[in-house]
């Protein structure tokens, strides 16, 4: 009886360990992906602000005209 119970547990152990490691890895990937997306967003915002500062008034005027036309 005890022997019969022990066998499936031993055979199932590696599978569960593998699935757990896979889950942990997936969670890590998701976290890294989120961090990467946040960093990209920050970089885009920074570049946009820099462009806005360096852009001339005529540039802004032509852009607003373009927006008004569409």
Which position has the higher pLDDT, 24 or 4? 24
- Residues 13-49: pLDDT tens digits? 555 566 777 778 888 888 888 888 888 888 998 888 8
pLDDT at 62: 75
Q: Which tokens go with 20? A: 């757990």
Q: Which tokens go with 68? A: 């008004």
pTM: 0.36
């Amino acid at each position: 009886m005890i022997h019969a119970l022990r066998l499936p547990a031993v055979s199932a152990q590696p599978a569960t360990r593998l699935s757990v490691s896979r889950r942990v890895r997936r969670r890590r990937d998701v976290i890294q992906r989120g961090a990467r997306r946040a960093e990209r967003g920050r970089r885009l915002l920074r570049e946009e602000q820099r462009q806005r500062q360096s852009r001339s008034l005529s540039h802004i005027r032509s852009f607003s005209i373009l927006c008004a036309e569409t």
